[in-house]
Structure 1
Amino acid sequence: MKTNRLFHKLTQLTRDFFSLSKAEQHGIIVLVSLILVFTILYFTLPLLVNPPIYNNAKIITQIEAFQREQTILRDSLQIEKIQSSGQLSEALAKERLHPFPFDPNKLPRELWQKLGLTNRQIDVIKNYEAKGGKFYSKKDLKKLYSVSEAEYRVLAPYITIKPMFSTKGDEIIRNRKYHRFALIVTEINSADTIRLKNNLNLPFWLGKRVVAYRTKLGGFYDKKQLLEVYGMKSNYFNQIKKYVVVDASRMQKLCINQIGFKQLLHHPYCNYQLTKKIINARQKAGGSFSNSHQLHEIIGSDSLGLKLQHYLYICASDLRGN
């Protein structure tokens, strides 16, 4: 019975369809076709396209790993800053340093980095060497402000310093102990760097500093002035002092009545206050000093002034400079 009714309805729909105009029939066909297409796509499209699979656990793991890396990076930068300032603790020093046997003198930057030092620490060491500094003993490394006490304790067992000189007849310098061989008596105001090296076994860089300082002073009046030369250590001076003689007649003194303000100020034993005091006193004295007692009264007990007196003498004032 139901089948007959369904057949009857389909027959009726067919008659109604064919009773429509061609345009209406065409529109219905298009509409039905679209409905069929969208229906098919709705059910088949999920099968054709693989939907993204969201793994929340994996994403969370990746985020946590990234956060850990950022924390480690921040901590590493902070530790490097502390290390560069010479304040690294012993625990961190053991963690960051990777020691191996080394001689700190002229050690390449790459090997310092391999030891675990920061670029800033290495810059301090290289600047020290550029200024003529050398490592005579292990403890010299500790004296650099960029290396902490803890870092030194980690590195010290691996430091091996070779003698600075090993040629027979030269001064062997090892751990700041100087073993003297044949030294020659030398007049310090006339010796050049070669004679200082050959006669007193001064390293070339130290002999060069002695000559440069002697030139600034105008000569030495006392062998103890050698201790004022940067890099001259007292224990080495004590080894060579009996071989050093001073000929004061070779000194180049300054005429106190002719010297100008700027020239006097440039002398190592004269600062601005002392220079101004001397020049003002000379002007009050009528433009020149008549005797050395006047100068002595002005200088008094000034430590620099007492040294400076050895380089000044009284002369005519008609050639005085500015």
Structure 2
Amino acid sequence: MKLFRDFFFYTRNQRRGILLLVAAIVAVWTVNWWLRPAERSFPQTDAAYMDSLMADYKDFLASVKYQDSIQEQRFKSQDKPASQPELRPFDPNEADSAQLCRIGLPGWMARNVVRYRQKGGVFRKPEDFRRIYGMTDERFETLRPYIRIARRDTATTPAIADKIQPDTTSKDSTRKPTIPLFQHVRKYPAGTIIELNQADTTELKKIPGVGSVIARMIVKYRTRLGGYYSVSQLKDIRLRADLLEPWFSVDTTAIKRINLNRGGTASLRRHPYINFYQARAIVEWRKEHGPLKDLTPFEQHPDFTKEDLERLRHYVCYE
């Protein structure tokens, strides 16, 4: 009993604290009860309220089903050609996405073919076309009789383009006779020199080993740069510059230069050799010190390396 009394014994100050705490709890509960009358009425017992909830729920289900149907139709449309396919001979190493769609491939699969070639992939025989992601056995068997893989120049170096031989192993007696797909481009003989900054895609494709894809890569990167100052720059787009160098001469007077005293950050960074931080450094230096006369102020700048400045000198002016 003594232990019990000791445990429940409180001083006067402690008893006052307990009473204040109980009073505060009661006050909070009372205020909360008066400020939330909606919960006391419990609206779920109202039939009209329940009917409105059910109507909203049904509308929600209907909208979900509608969105699901739209999504399903979208996926189905991706797997079907936009129009009736026109089956005709094609070379998977040369056909663009529009040609591939016309023969019955969906758009996303045609893009897979083009992307595969851009990464260096080559179709050596018709069966290689079966490896494209999404290609079914049924679709491949439909297209197989129309696949024409052209013979490439035997002087082609594997680092530029692989040697492709026609498929002679098929014993299908019902296979349709070969139909010429296009006139082969006559290649330049060894020793021919063309100007790298002036040649268009038609002329570039006359170099042994250079096809449509590589020719477009060279011209597109030349446009972004403003012109080449060296054949070695072809390494920037993952081409074997050492193998292509004997075919080119470079006229550096054709290079289009950018004025470092006029361009803003956004325009300067469009050049392949200027990143965002370098463009910002150029603009900030101009604001603090005035127009640039050369690249000397950036020789010790942390955002520029010696190699960056060396290749950038070919593309800048200060007028």
Which is higher, the Rg of structure 1 or of structure 2? Answer: 1
Which structure's residues are more often helix, by fraction? 1
Normalised to the residue count of structure 1, the TM-score between the two structures is: 0.45
